[in-house]
Each structure stands twice: as structure tokens, then as C-alpha cells.
Amino acid sequence: MGGHSCRRSTRLAAAFVLALTFAAQAQEPGSRPWKDTARLQAEVDGLVPRVERALGLCFREPPKVRFPDIDEWRRMVARELPGERDQYRAGVLLYGVFLVPEREVWIGEYVAFHLLGESKRTFARCALAHELAHALGEQHFQFGARHRAEPDATARLYRKALSEGFAVMAELRVAHELGGDAAVREALERYRGPAQLVHVRGHRYLQNLEHEHGREAMWQALAGALPRPVEFARGSWREPGPVVARTADGTRDATATHLRIEVAARGSESGASGPAHAPARPRVWDLPAPARRLAFSADGALLAAVGVDGALRVIDVREAAPATAIRSLFCGAVEFTFTSQGGEVVDRDGTKVVFARDQLQPGPGASVDLRPELRRLGLPIRKQGTRGTCSVFTAAGAYEFALSRAAQRGVVLSVEFLNWAANEAVGRVDDGSFFADVVAGYEKHGACREAAWPYARDFDPGSTPGPAAVAEAAALRTRRAHAHWIQPWTPQAGLRSEHLDAIRTTLQRGWPVCLGSAHSTLAVGYRDDASLPGGGVLLVRDSATGSDREVDFEFVQKRVGDVFWVEQSGP
């Protein structure tokens, strides 16, 4: 399609957006009964933590979001784009915009209307997530303010690309959380045209920087100087080259380039007409991130490894059903190399993950051990003595691991403070708490370091933290360590197989897991062994003995109740 036709088509689409907006407004002039302010705010409140998880950062202050009517939009467009007569640009702004001087997100009536509906709700929520990401980026990196202050036109373009790429990253990850790969593909359609090239380049640059050097490096790049033109032009610090795979019999080839996989099959296999072995038309799928590895499994499915959200995700590409072809199957904390023999995926430590029956499962002999990382961070095993504080020690271990890994140095927390905070949160004066009470206490008061309030041999119900300990706890709390529940507490102990799988997956991603039972412990590894009850063991830290020990999977599934882990969002 030529450039003129493309612009004409785009503007017609924008006019359609405007028409839909006016139709929504015309339902009942003046009152607009469909605009339920409370429900719209609930949508904002529900998306805020999703955007935070997607980007690994937390809002320093709640974002301001407005849902103005069409007349307010027109005045805003006239102010922000003086003299603009292009309905396309006005139409795009009807989706949403982040106004830098006001530090406020404006969401247009078209998006607001669909936020309260069903047919395009995922689209509308992704559009809202995009603008919330702009607000988050402004709080941490001052994207808009630095863009406006930049005198050089090329540098302004780069800053706009970083800002838009940051928002696209959030939008795509929220889309995946809300609707899986189909929602990601739908969101990507918004960025196919040449007008969105700046979004694509910024997203690709940040995405690859995060995958190659880590999330902290991405944050530093966003806060620091602009990338060199050659780096930005390539979209990455290192341009990802094509990744290829071929079936054992040579009848199919797969090539992954950037965010796309193409699979070319021979005519005799695909059923295409023509001479035997004539090339068939390639099948194409879009990926949520550039592929790092490709391999065909023994049953002919294509496995691809991509880096998403700080972990390597293995996905299964099925040619038979393009609409639902890409499914996330497994997350790991280490990089994999693939072998096509039997569909095995083998990491660099020798741990095997076996492809079977449309899923990737940890194979025989799979294991994880986080103790070397605990030692590297300087996090010791501590004893609770005669006090009944096992749950507090266990939760403290999860929080201090998250904080220490982010800081890359040991942050040993005060169990005494966490015990007090849990009591304060639930209005009790007990020695020892449930996991949920400790989480509530941390979220309300934070926790100071052990040195600020050391653990006492005996419990003193009248003891309270000093001003210095309270101030330190408040400062540490701003780093926002978040608890993620695999299984909240229930009166009846016991876990299902999917809970055990989630524990193992979390350990594979590099996070310890808190196990609540008659005696709480911190899982820091596991080992599969078919000869053991339940098929393996968890390696746990036990504050009662001050040592590590093993508990078999059967015990975990029968006796463990509540389970959670902790991850830090933000630097």
C-alpha cells in the first residue's frame, strides 16, 4: 500500500474513532449515564499494580487519572496542538495522553466507554496501562520534562522513543497478563505502521538492554545520558541476529528475527500442491520478545525461549492453530541450551526440562539450590531459640533475600521488629504470627535491620522500637518488597500438585519460598527424585535448628498450608 493510501486509511480509522466517541456521548446528552466514575477508578486501581509488576517499579505517589468529556478533550487538543487540523492526530489523542505539566493522565471517552464494556475491554485496559506507564516513567525518570528541555531535535526524538518504548513495554506485558499471547498480538497491531516506528525502536532498545544486561541496567539507561545514535538506531546494544532451527529430517526450517518466527515447510509435508519438496508458504507468528533459542521437539512442535519479566520463558509454537499457537509453558532463572533429542531442554548446570504432552515439566534429576546465592549475599541461618517465632523468621528470610538481591549486599532484617509490626497490624500482643500478619505488618511499618533492634532471648510484650528503628524501617519500606501468594492460609492444610509446581517454578526463577505448617520453614531449593515420597524433596532453612534440611514432596502436599514468596519492585 502506498504512503498516501496508508495515511488516508489511517485518518479514516481515526474518523471512525471520533464517530464512535460522539455516538457514545449521544446516548443521553449532558448526563452520559454509561460513565460510571467509581467503576472507572476501580479499573485504574486494578491496573496500577499490574503496571508496577510489568516494569519493576512502583509509583512514588498515586497517579492522577481523569476521564473528561469530549468538550474538555477539544480544549486540551487545541492547547497541546495549537493550529492542528489533522483529525488523525486528534483521534489518536482520544485514546489517552499523559499531560506533563499537570502530571496527569487523561483517558478519552472511547477508551472509557470500552473499559466499562466487554467486547474491547482488554484493548481499553492496555491503552490505560500505556498512559499509566508514562506517569510512572515521569515520576522516576522525568521523561516529559527532559524531552521538553532538550534543545536538539534528534535528541528529542530519542527521548520520545525511550518514553514510548517504556510505555509499550508495560502495555505488552499487561496485555499478556490479561489475555495471554492473543492479547499481545492484538496490542502489537497498534504499532505496525510507520507512524509508530519511534515506539517500536524505543521498545526494542529497552527490551534488549534489559535482556542482555538486566533490569537495573535498563533503569540506569533511562535515568542517564541518551544512548549513542548507533546504539539506538539498531534498537539494541547488541543487534540480535536471526535464530534458526531445523527438524531432524530436514523438512522444516524455523527462523526467528526480532519479534517474529517464520516456519517454512516442504510441500510434501504440508500438503501443498505441486512437486514433492516444493517450498510451502512460510507460517508466521509474533513473539512477546526476541527469541534466544529455537528447537523442534520430538513430536514436531517448535520450542522457543524468550526473555520476559527477568526470566527465560519457553513457549510452544503449534502450526495447526495459529490463533492460539503460542503458549507460555515454563519460566526459568537460567539460560537454556536446546537439544532436539526427545524434546529435552538442558540448562548450563545440567538440569533437564522435558517436553511432553503440550507442556514442559521438570525432568528426572532436576534441581535448584539457592544456598550459594544466600552465602554470596551474606544472609546467615539464624536460630529462633525457645520462642515460637518460626513464621516471622521464615518471612524475614524471604523479605531480606529480595532486598539483598536488589541491593547486591546483605540486608539482615530485625525479626523483633517484624514480630512487633505484625502484632500492630492485627491488634494483638503475641510472640509469633501467621504469614498473613507478618505481610500486613511489613506493608504497614516496613522493617529495620537486625542491628537496629536485635532479637531478644525472651519475648517482652511491652517492648517497642525506638525512633531510629522506626525511621530505618520506613526508609527500607520505600523499596517496596511485594508478597506473592501461591496459596493463602486455609483451615485445612495440604497443597495440590499445581501448588507444588508453582513452588518449584518460583525456586527455578531464583526466589526462596515461605512454607507454612505446624512449623514454618523457608524453601531454598529442591531436587527431583522418583525414589522419594512424592517424587522429590524441598531444601529448607529451619530456624528451630539453625540449619538446612530436606522435606519430601509428599509431606509438603499433605502438611503445608499457606505459601508465599517476596519480590522487590524498584531499585
Share of the chain above pLDDT 70, in %: 71
Q: Give the Å distances, CA to CA, from 335 to 260, 344, 347.
A: 20, 14, 6
Residues 211 and 312 in one domain: no
Residues 450 and 554 in one domain: yes
Distance CA 430, CA 422 (A): 9
Q: What is the pLDDT of residue 215?
A: 80
pLDDT band at 94 (very low <50, low <70, confident <90, very high): low
Distance CA 476, CA 348 (A): 35
Predicted confidence (pLDDT) at residue 565 exceeds the cutoff of 60: yes
Q: What is the pLDDT of residue 386?
A: 93
Distance CA 341, CA 135 (A): 48
Pick from 142-146, 333-337, 361-365, 386-390: least confident:
333-337
CA angle 423, 557, 442 (to 5 degrees): 20
Pick from 120-129, 222-231, 364-373: least confident:
222-231
3-state SS, residue 474: helix
- Map 123-168 to HEC letters: HHHHHHHHHHHHHHHHHHHCHHHHHHHCCCHHHHHHHHHHHHHHHH
- Per DSSP, 267 falls in state H
Average pLDDT of the segment spanning 15-40: 54
Residues 397 and 512 in one domain: yes
Handedness of CA 366, 372, 377, 380 (dihedral sign): positive
Query: Which residues lie below 8 Å from residue 253, measured CB to CB, with a gap of 6+?
Result: 244, 245, 246, 247, 263, 264
What is the rounded (10 degree) CA torsion for 431, 435, 441, 443? Answer: 170
Whether 458 and 387 have beta carbons less than 8 Å apart is answered as yes
Q: Which amino acid, residue 154?
A: T
Radius of gyration of the CA atoms of the chain, in A: 26
Q: Of 332, 363, 394, which residue is a domain's last?
A: 363
- Give tens-digit pLDDT for 66-92: 988 878 877 887 777 665 544 444 445
3-state SS, residue 320: coil
Q: What is the pLDDT of residue 288?
A: 57
Q: What is the pLDDT of residue 37?
A: 84
Q: What is the pLDDT of residue 269?
A: 41
Whether 340 and 244 have beta carbons less than 8 Å apart is answered as no
Element (H, E) at 431: none
pLDDT band at 521 (very low <50, low <70, confident <90, very high): very high
| Region at 30 (left for phi over 0; alpha for psi -120 to 50; beta for the rest) | left
Element (H, E) at 184: helix 153-188
More confident call, 422 vs 18: 422
Residues 86 and 215 in one domain: yes
Q: What is the pLDDT of residue 282?
A: 76
Q: What is the pLDDT of residue 459?
A: 94
Output the nine-digit C-alpha cell for 54. Answer: 510489568
Q: Which of 534, 540, 533 is nearest to 513 (CA)?
A: 540
CA angle 49, 54, 60 (to 5 degrees): 50
Q: What is the pLDDT of residue 228?
A: 61
Q: What is the pLDDT of residue 271?
A: 41
Average pLDDT of the segment spanning 560-566: 93
Residues 328 and 299 in one domain: yes
DSSP H helical ranges for 189-257: 197-213, 215-223, 229-234
What average pLDDT does the structure give for the chain?
A: 76
Q: What is the pLDDT of residue 315?
A: 66
Instruction: Look up the CATH number of the domain holding residue 494.
Output: 3.90.70.10
Predicted confidence (pLDDT) at residue 432 exceeds the cutoff of 80: yes
Q: What is the pLDDT of residue 192?
A: 64
Q: Give the Å distances, CA to CA, from 558 to 489, 493, 507.
A: 14, 7, 20
Residues 121 and 216 in one domain: yes
Share of the chain above pLDDT 90, in %: 28
Residues 386 and 302 in one domain: no
Predicted confidence (pLDDT) at residue 205 exceeds the cutoff of 50: yes
Q: Of 295, 329, 363, which residue is a domain's last?
A: 363
Distance CA 471, CA 366 (A): 44
Query: Which residues lie below 8 Å from residue 299, measured CB to CB, with a gap of 6+?
Result: 343, 355
Average pLDDT of the segment spanning 554-561: 92
Pick from 14-18, 302-306, 409-413, 452-456: least confident:
14-18
> Would you mind telling me the total number of residues written for the chain in this entry?
571
Predicted confidence (pLDDT) at residue 51 exceeds the cutoff of 80: yes
Residues 196 and 268 in one domain: no
Residues 73 and 148 in one domain: yes
Average pLDDT of the segment spanning 226-234: 56
3-state SS, residue 280: coil
Predicted confidence (pLDDT) at residue 112 exceeds the cutoff of 70: yes
Q: What is the pLDDT of residue 505?
A: 81
Q: What is the pLDDT of residue 204?
A: 78
Report the number of distinct structural domains present in the chain.
3
Query: Which residues lie below 8 Å from residue 261, measured CB to CB, with a gap of 6+?
Result: 254, 255, 284, 285, 286, 287, 291, 294, 302, 304, 317
- Give tens-digit pLDDT for 319-345: 544 333 333 333 333 333 333 334 444
Q: What is the pLDDT of residue 177?
A: 86
3-state SS, residue 538: strand
Element (H, E) at 472: helix 467-477
- Per DSSP, 79 falls in state H
Residues 31 and 147 in one domain: yes
Q: What is the pLDDT of residue 246?
A: 83
Q: What is the pLDDT of residue 353?
A: 42
Predicted confidence (pLDDT) at residue 465 exceeds the cutoff of 70: yes
pLDDT band at 289 (very low <50, low <70, confident <90, very high): low
3-state SS, residue 535: helix
Neighbouring CB atoms inside 10 A of 209's CB total 24
Predicted confidence (pLDDT) at residue 122 exceeds the cutoff of 80: yes
Q: What is the pLDDT of residue 502?
A: 86
pLDDT band at 229 (very low <50, low <70, confident <90, very high): low
Distance CA 227, CA 229 (A): 6
> Residue 22: which domain range?
3-234
Distance CA 500, CA 538 (A): 10
Whether 396 and 413 have beta carbons less than 8 Å apart is answered as yes
Q: Of 338, 363, 388, which residue is a domain's last?
A: 363
Residues 456 and 350 in one domain: no
If you write DSSP's letter for every residue of 363-382 in order, what string do you get?
Answer: -TT-EEE-HHHHHHHT----
Burial of 109 (0-12, 13-18, 19+ CB in 10 A): buried
Residues 409 and 329 in one domain: no
3-state SS, residue 113: helix
Q: What is the pLDDT of residue 542?
A: 95
- Give tens-digit pLDDT for 502-517: 898 888 778 899 999 8
pLDDT band at 383 (very low <50, low <70, confident <90, very high): very high
The helix-helix angle for 415-426 and 390-407 (nearest 10°) equals 110
Average pLDDT of the segment spanning 248-262: 79
- Mean pLDDT is highest, among 88-102, 216-230, 311-325, for 216-230
